[in-house]
């Protein structure tokens, strides 16, 4: 299937997806600094608009878990101590103004300047807002500029807050995997020991072959468990050049009994590309996405796996012809323990997203315009990690 670069621009680089991807590898202090920088940019923009000469932004920082204040003034000696104390105490803030509306605040007893407030939101029992002083009343166009700054700031804060939640969920998942791994490793070791004893004690024949299969299966389980425990940890990534098409074919072969049972058709490109990835971990991603596609596909349905190469990254998308995703699914599908599959753990897609993020890529889901679900993976083509 041929898809033009123009047609995929919105899918490949949705702004919130890109920002969230970039934030995953940054420490909280660095992210908080980015929020502050963005606020500074908005303040400088507003101060460039005459007659505004003083601006303050108060916002809730989800990473520092507290309200932050950024103030800038282009008129020396503007503030009296009494005015500054009055503003800091917020005793003047008695009305709950609607968000993203510009409202004049009467401070004529303290200053000759005109004061305006534009609320952004309300977090942790305290308002977030833009406060400005101007030499003259603000024109409708300037009020619109203030509203736009408030809306932009609100969207960025929502993105940063979502990133913090994702980091907390990933840390929880890592903790769960560590505990599960240690709890499972002891019984696996015991089963492996008994299988080895059976293999050595049985005469050659079908029984010994079955014991050998048990022994090898336990070894595979132990290897996979180790990979699962350390999945996505950058220092554990074993990055090498691998053929994408071969990786997809290997996953399809592992799902062949289920594919044949439902009489499904799997379509994928004839051409391939070489990527710098950890093949074992990325195979877990394809195992999970294609397994879900097989599970939710109708009998005799078609599953499509396609990719397109861009200058700096590759976009891979997997589509099925199932019932698609609800709005709740799209919001929660990568959240730990959320699952639509009977008996599912709700960890597969969370692990898959973590693996992709730690490859400096991204994974997201949406509904196909022709019906069914679509999962998109974007991965960088560079080998620098």
In a domain, 7, yes or no: no
Q: Do residues 20 and 160 share a domain?
A: yes
For the domain that residue 275 is a member of, what is the CATH number? Answer: 3.30.565.10
- Per-residue confidence (pLDDT) for residue 289, from 0 to 100: 95
Single residue among 135, 164, 193 that ends a domain in this structure: 164
What is the number of structural domains in the chain?
3
Q: Do residues 265 and 342 share a domain?
A: yes
Single residue among 205, 229, 253 that ends a domain in this structure: 229
In a domain, 10, yes or no: no
Q: What is the pLDDT of residues 118-145, one digit of tens each?
A: 999 888 778 999 999 999 999 999 999 9
Q: Do residues 79 and 186 share a domain?
A: no
In a domain, 4, yes or no: no
Question: 3-class secondary structure for 207-244?
Answer: HHHHHHHHHHHHHHHHHHHHHHHCCCCHHHCCCEEEEH
Single residue among 164, 189, 205 that ends a domain in this structure: 164
Question: Could you tell me the two tokens for 174?
Answer: 């890592």
In a domain, 268, yes or no: yes
Residue 286 forms beta bridges with which residues?
Answer: none
DSSP symbols for 154-199: HHHHHHHHHHHHHHHHHHHHHHHHHHHHHHHHHHHHHHHHHHHHHH
User: Which segments of the chain have a pLDDT < 70?
Assistant: 1-32, 76-78, 182, 223-224, 226-236, 343-345, 383-385
Q: Do residues 207 and 293 share a domain?
A: no
Q: Do residues 61 and 189 share a domain?
A: no
- Peptide bond between residue 51 and the one before it cis (omega within 30 degrees of 0): yes
Q: Do residues 200 and 252 share a domain?
A: no
In a domain, 3, yes or no: no
In a domain, 95, yes or no: yes
Instruction: Please give the helix or strand (H or E) that residue 133 lies within, else none.
Output: strand 126-134
Q: Do residues 242 and 362 share a domain?
A: yes
In a domain, 135, yes or no: yes
| Domain coverage including residue 178 | 168-229
Q: Do residues 172 and 160 share a domain?
A: no
- Per-residue confidence (pLDDT) for residue 17, from 0 to 100: 44
Cα dist from 92 to 69, 104, 114, 119, whole Å = 17, 12, 14, 14
CB 276 within 8 A of CB 382: yes
DSSP state of 55: E
Q: Do residues 224 and 355 share a domain?
A: no
CB 351 within 8 A of CB 334: no
Q: Do residues 223 and 182 share a domain?
A: yes
For the domain that residue 72 is a member of, what is the CATH number? Answer: 3.30.450.40
Tell me the whole-structure pTM to 2 decimals: 0.51
In a domain, 8, yes or no: no
Q: Do residues 192 and 65 share a domain?
A: no
Q: Do residues 339 and 216 share a domain?
A: no
Three-state SS at 107: coil
CB 130 within 8 A of CB 115: no
């Amino acid at each position: 299937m041929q898809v033009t670069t123009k047609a995929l621009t919105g899918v490949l680089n949705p702004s919130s997806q890109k920002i969230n991807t970039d934030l995953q590898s940054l420490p909280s202090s660095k992210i908080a600094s980015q929020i502050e920088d963005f606020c500074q940019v908005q303040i400088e923009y507003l101060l460039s608009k005459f007659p505004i000469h003083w601006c303050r932004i108060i916002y809730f920082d989800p990473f520092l878990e507290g309200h932050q204040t950024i103030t800038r003034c282009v008129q020396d000696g503007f503030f009296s101590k009494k005015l500054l104390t009055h503003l800091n105490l917020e005793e003047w803030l008695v009305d709950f103004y609607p968000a993203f509306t510009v409202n004049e605040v009467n401070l004529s007893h303290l200053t000759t300047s005109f004061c305006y407030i534009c609320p952004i939101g309300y977090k942790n029992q305290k308002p977030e807002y833009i406060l400005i002083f101007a030499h003259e009343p603000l024109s409708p166009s300037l009020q619109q500029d203030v509203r736009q700054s408030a809306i932009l700031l609100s969207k960025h804060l929502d993105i940063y807050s979502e990133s913090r939640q994702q980091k907390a969920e990933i840390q929880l998942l890592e903790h769960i995997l560590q505990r599960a791994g240690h709890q499972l490793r002891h019984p696996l070791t015991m089963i492996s020991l008994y299988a080895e004893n059976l293999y050595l004690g049985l005469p050659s024949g079908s029984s010994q072959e079955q014991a050998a299969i048990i022994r090898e299966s336990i070894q595979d389980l132990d290897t996979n468990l180790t990979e699962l425990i350390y999945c996505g940890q950058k220092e554990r990534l074993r990055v090498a050049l691998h053929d994408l098409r071969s990786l997809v074919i290997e996953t399809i072969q592992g799902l062949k009994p289920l594919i044949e049972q439902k009489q499904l058709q799997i379509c994928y490109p004839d051409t391939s590309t070489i990527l710098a990835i950890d093949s074992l971990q990325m195979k877990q991603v394809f195992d999970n996405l294609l397994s879900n596609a097989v599970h939710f596909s109708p009998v005799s349905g078609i599953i499509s796996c396609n990719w397109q190469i861009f200058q700096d990254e590759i976009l891979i998308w997997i589509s099925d012809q199932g019932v698609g995703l609800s709005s709740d699914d799209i919001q929660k599908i990568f959240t730990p323990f959320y699952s639509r599959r009977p008996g599912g753990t709700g960890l597969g897609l969370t692990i898959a997203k973590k693996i992709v993020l730690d490859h400096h890529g991204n994974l997201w889901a949406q509904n196909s315009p022709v019906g069914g679900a679509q999962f998109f993976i974007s991965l960088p083509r560079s080998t620098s990690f």
